[in-house]
Structure 1
Amino acid sequence: MFSNSQVLSSTLKVRRSQAYKSFYATIRSLRSSPPPTENDEGYPSDNDFILSILRANPSLRDSRSYLASFDPRPITKPALVPAHDISIPSTVASESKPTVTQIPTQEQLPKPSPIIASILNPVIRRTALVKMQGPFTDVQLDSIARGMVYLEKLGLVSVIVIENDFISRGGQDERSAIVEETMRVVSALEKQGARARPVLGAAVRLGPKPGDEDTGATSDFSPPEAHTLPSDLIPIRSALCAGEIPVIAPLALDSFCRSVCVNANDVLGALAKGMTETGAVGRRQDSPGEVDLTPLRLMIINREGGIPSYARAGYPHLLVNLNSEYSYIHDTFHDEWQHTHPTSLSNLALARTCLAYMPPTSSAVMVSHRSQSSLIGNLITNKPAVSSSLPHALLQGNRKLTPHTPTLLRRGLPIHVVQTTSQIDKAKMTVLLEQSFGRKLDEAAFYRRLDTVLDFTIIAGDYVGAAIVTSERESTSSNPISYLDKFAVLPSHQGDGTVDFLWVALHDESYGLGHPSSANPNGGKEGKGEGRDLVWRSRANNPVNKWYFERSSGHVRMGDWVLFWCDAEKRLKIEQGRRGRSGLSWIGEWEEGRLSSWTDVVSRIPSSWKK
């Protein structure tokens, strides 16, 4: 027989042994557990994914735009018959009257779980054309693949075309090297939890599409040297419908039906045209797994990053208006960039070709493999990482602006400047102003005043946006004030880059004059001259004021109005150099009394609207 103390001692020893084994097992499991960025299955964790979404910091308009493209499609519910109108006799044998089983009402029906609901009502999946321009190391490839998985979670499925700058063209081992590179990308995607399918057959055909031979002479871009037929897209559509990411080798069929290696840009251009034409036919509404083939984005992922800018000491362009800036970017591309960014201009041409076929709301992004997380921000906001319309001083000191900052490219609109009211199409301008402000314009009084005070007008496209600047004077002897009388963009073009394109042109013609970034050819001064302070007013409850606060040098309250201004950047730079380290903390002679003068002049400007 054992005493109570012996039993207690034995029990404690067993518990201590179990506790020690449990502690040791816990430490061992912690040492052998996967890194915190992955879960038990080895797939990417949701933490980085959620943080990437939060860093995008989308506005309400950005969120609405994203949901408009990816929101679940509505389900047409069948008409429900009231339960008391239908009765089903029971088949149970009984001498009594047959029982009647009532059909449950809609409220009584069990609700499906969120997982089942997401399966029955999936988000609309859209496609992105992706040029993966290597070579990349395994670590870099894993990072890019993780970005592709994140985009797929948000509803954007990548159609990837492989390119490797180190593979010699026409070499004996070119095809085997391309196949090997394709399989590397497939393996990297599957390692991150995605399902990928290699497409090792020719996805396009060399030469123009039958019937399109004469379009190249009339177009303002270089058409691709390949095309697709609907049957060529079957492997891509099949992969997308099966929930797989197609990874395409840059191969094409020649006139002898031989599969030959071609430039990836030709494959991407042909796919942009073919997928857009096929997507325009319409997605079958009765097939939940169907994917809209129309490309929503073009993504060029490389080792160079964005296109270097002449105005930012080689740092990338932030937002490119291909319609009006394409030629000028070519003209200002420095010779040394041919070595540091050898494919920037060819990728610029690729973006213009693809966006010419894709919907007007589509955009292209040129991004370094180091900035793959910025793809999420671009998808949700469809905006550059840093707004190009911010004051130059803010852009220079912005931490987000690095050599690896992505370049966003849009098809854009032509921008031109006119100096007289006779050059303005008054009917179109009236429609623009009334639709933008939601008020009725007093046309006779408005244009009569412009005849005497107009400085210049910037017009975007066919009057989808305009900025009207006037010269106002306190007296006949005083210096004129540059006053932004109207800044308007059609509601249908708000959020597509037109606002930024228009404000950049406004900067070039007023407070940005004399700065290298203002030398854009738009029919105006092309950066020549002295910068002038720009003044404007906005109602205190205008929701656009947040945007104005970010772009102005200062503001002051005027009752129900807020007066904004932008200081001439060239003068600010000279003044800052003169004061040295003391900064701009005191009021100079050129600033004395200007606020009261501006307030007096602006308060006397008559309203342009009918009461």
Structure 2
Amino acid sequence: MLSHSATRLSCRSSINTASRSAQTFKAFYATIRSLRTPYEPPDPDDVEPSEKDFILSLLRANPSLRDTKSYLASFGPRPLPPQPMAPRPAEIPVQTDKDVTVHLETKPPDIKRAPSPVLASILNPVYRRTALVKIQAPFTDRQLESIARGMVYLEKLGLVSVIVVENDQLPRGDSRERTALVEETMRVVNALEKQGARARPVLGAVVRLGPKPGGECSSEPREYDEPEAHTFPGDLVHIRSALRAGEIPVLPPFALDSFCRSIRVDGNDVIAALVRGMVEAAALDRTSPVGEDSPSSSPDEMDLTPLRLMMITREGGIPSYARQGMPHLLVNLTSEYDYIRDTFDPRWRLSHSTALMNLKLARTCLAYMPPTSSAFMVSHRSPSSLIGNLITNKPALSSSLPHALLQSHRKLTADTPTILRHGLPIRVVRRVDDVDKPKLKDLLEQSFRRQLDDAPFWERMERDLDFVIVAGDYAGAAIVTRERCPMGTSDAIGPLTYLDKFAVRPEHQGNGTVDFLWVALHDETYGLGLPFSANPNGGKEGKGEGRDLVWRSRADNPVNKWYFERSTGHMCQGDWVLFWCDAEARLKTEEGRRGAARGALSYLEDWEVGRLATWSDVVMKIPSSWKPKPQLPAKK
């Protein structure tokens, strides 16, 4: 029997309920589940900020220190050039009446006092970057006002939008379609100017119909679709001119055909062509010699490389099975694109008619954009969320949080945006022989900043490994083992599913890799058996029985806050904290059975009796994987 202090259970509710008073449970073991907490109604004060609440929108973004550094690296003040050291003041000899020479110091008249670094950083303008924005019209004047306010927010932060206006409800081939698209473009321009921005309509075609010459001859396999239009650097002169003048260019979806006629095309083709063309033009600007005719020599010229792709629609994000039709929060296009497309519910094709087309557009565009870029599917009702995405490059809520917590969170609504990243492939490896040992070792040592004790670690993996989830080329990994339980307990709770290591390289932290990895871990362990846990990357694809997942962490580990939010419960064990996640399918089955009998789940079910003592006994005996830290020599 464990002592009272060693078995004290730190219970933590996953949802902020109306009654937040401290509770003491008399049960010796207790498990807090967000599935058993009531729904929290939305806060009536949580409304979109007005025009005067720009600062409030920044605060609501709640960026971390890493987010702030990343934003400042792209948009922060330019570093000041090193100032030359001022020469020492000259000494002028002056002859006095008593034949005593006095040296007077004089300051050169052309040397000015340098401003303070703080003042210089405030007065120095931020870098301006570009974003491609698709406005999926039609919108009312009030809705356009909300969209324009979001564009103005972004411009204040240094991100200037290049807007393409599309209207799928306008019949193709209609005699008035060109006039209607021009009118829709001018409505967007007027809405921007009413919000204080400067906008310029670019009504001439800047892209050309058809694949780019030479691009179709490439023999390399592509994971994206080739754009149906293209543009050359010289075609971007009107967009460059508008950006140089501090104006937001707004374009209708026109393109030049082979007869040099300006015709209407799909807006997604214009967006894809512009993304590719702007990336190529920016690369050309960087390699061109600086001269009078070089765009990069102009102080008013900005980098044309798009950092964001934004698709503003009436529909919002992509619906998800895991959230009963509420939007996906974060999508890994490399590993999830085919699954989302193939399992898209036919009912969603009516309510989210453009979702799959925009998903395809995001995959094509992000293939050309920098790895740090992201795509953003957002409703016109969420202008302030544009700020949060720009500063943090993250979704409103982490996609790896428990599904029950997300489902009842007041920030998760039908208008919650979906963030799309190019992402990394995720695969499940079940044999040690299939693991790249040098790469995995380097990943663990880079992540934990300790030296791996190779021989005993790999010997243990050969004996106890269940599987390894690998992200990309070992950018991240989750190692799961099957631990033997003492005799007499394994029949009750089965072999212990233990998260031995969860590691992500430092350079991939903050780009979604952590969430991608944890979601795959959920699908293979405690989320297994649920219909939305079909991991198509070598895993069990949702088939099987979910298992409780257990792991431990040092009590002073700064990552523990992240673990607290994702675990079902935790228990302090001296210098360690024991975490666990209950098998969700088992809870849902029991909850349904109790519901039919009008009974509720208790905080201590029969299968939970004694399991914490068993888990603690097993986990605390697992040897360390690291070599001892070298001891500093004692001072004499």
Which of 525, 528, 532 is residue 540 of structure 2 equivalent to? 525
Identity score, percent: 69
Separation in 2 of the partners of 1:356 and 1:312? 28
What SS does the aligned partner of 2:398 have?
coil
What SS does the aligned partner of 2:215 have?
coil
Quote the offset at 1:345 in angstroms: 0.7
What residue identity is the alignment partner of 1:493? H
Q: Which runs of 5+ in 1 are unaligned?
A: 1-43, 88-96
What residue identity is the alignment partner of 1:416? R
Say whether 1:436 aligns with 2:447: yes
Say whether 1:593 aligns with 2:610: yes
Quote the offset at 1:457 in angstroms: 0.8
Quote the offset at 1:106 in angstroms: 8.3
| Mapping of residues 224-303 of structure 1, within 5 Å | 224-281=227-284, 287-303=298-314
Which of 520, 527, 530 is residue 512 of structure 1 equivalent to? 527
Quote the offset at 1:118 in angstroms: 6.6
What SS does the aligned partner of 2:85 have?
coil
Say whether 1:222 aligns with 2:225: yes
Match of 1:551 in 2: 566
| Mapping of residues 449-460 of structure 1, within 5 Å | 449-460=460-471
For the Cα contact (< 8 Å) 2:553–2:578, is it kept in 1?
yes
**CA pair 553-86 structure 1, distance change in 2 beyond 3 A:** farther
Say whether 1:402 aligns with 2:403: no
What residue identity is the alignment partner of 2:582? D
| Mapping of residues 152-551 of structure 1, within 5 Å | 152-215=155-218, 218-281=221-284, 287-475=298-486, 478-479=489-490, 480-551=495-566
Separation in 2 of the partners of 1:359 and 1:108? 41
Say whether 1:606 aligns with 2:617: no
For the Cα contact (< 8 Å) 1:133–1:162, is it kept in 2?
yes
**CA pair 156-582 structure 1, distance change in 2 beyond 3 A:** farther
For the Cα contact (< 8 Å) 1:83–1:105, is it kept in 2?
no
Deviation sequence 1:302-347 (CA, Å, 0-9, x none): 1111111233222111111111111111111111222111111111
For the Cα contact (< 8 Å) 2:89–2:105, is it kept in 1?
no
Separation in 2 of the partners of 1:508 and 1:106? 67
Which of 33, 52, 61 is residue 57 of structure 2 equivalent to? 52
Separation in 1 of the partners of 2:165 and 2:439? 46
What residue identity is the alignment partner of 1:601? V
Separation in 1 of the partners of 2:377 and 2:458? 43
**CA pair 84-46 structure 1, distance change in 2 beyond 3 A:** farther
Match of 1:23 in 2: none
Deviation sequence 1:179-204 (CA, Å, 0-9, x none): 11111111000000000111111111
Deviation sequence 1:203-259 (CA, Å, 0-9, x none): 111122222122487212111111111111121112112111111121111122221
Bigger Rg, which one: 1
* Structure whose residues are more often helix by fraction: 1
Quote the offset at 1:100 in angstroms: 7.9
Deviation sequence 1:158-180 (CA, Å, 0-9, x none): 11011012222122111111111
Quote the offset at 1:553 in angstroms: 0.7
Separation in 1 of the partners of 2:115 and 2:549? 63
**CA pair 458-110 structure 1, distance change in 2 beyond 3 A:** closer
Separation in 2 of the partners of 1:106 and 1:564? 64
Separation in 1 of the partners of 2:605 and 2:111? 74
Separation in 2 of the partners of 1:277 and 1:109? 39
Quote the offset at 1:583 in angstroms: 4.6
Q: How many residues align?
A: 558
**CA pair 449-105 structure 1, distance change in 2 beyond 3 A:** farther
Quote the offset at 1:85 in angstroms: 4.5
Quote the offset at 1:86 in angstroms: 8.9
For the Cα contact (< 8 Å) 1:83–1:104, is it kept in 2?
no
Q: Greater RCO between the two (CA within 8 Å, min separation 6)?
A: 2
For the Cα contact (< 8 Å) 1:133–1:303, is it kept in 2?
yes
CA-based RMSD of the aligned residues comes to 2.4
What residue identity is the alignment partner of 2:626? W
Which shows bigger deviation, 70-79 or 542-551? 70-79
Separation in 2 of the partners of 1:155 and 1:585? 53
For the Cα contact (< 8 Å) 2:90–2:106, is it kept in 1?
no
What residue identity is the alignment partner of 1:261? R
Separation in 1 of the partners of 2:581 and 2:547? 9
| Mapping of residues 31-70 of structure 1, within 5 Å | 47-70=52-75
For the Cα contact (< 8 Å) 2:333–2:420, is it kept in 1?
yes
What SS does the aligned partner of 2:502 have?
strand
**CA pair 68-263 structure 1, distance change in 2 beyond 3 A:** same
Which shows bigger deviation, 62-71 or 141-150? 62-71
Which of 136, 139, 145 is residue 136 of structure 1 equivalent to? 139
What residue identity is the alignment partner of 1:57? N
Separation in 1 of the partners of 2:115 and 2:457? 63
What residue identity is the alignment partner of 1:269? A
Separation in 2 of the partners of 1:112 and 1:597? 60
Quote the offset at 1:584 in angstroms: 4.3
Separation in 2 of the partners of 1:340 and 1:266? 23
What residue identity is the alignment partner of 1:289? D
Superposition TM-score, scaled by structure 2 size: 0.84
Match of 1:81 in 2: 86
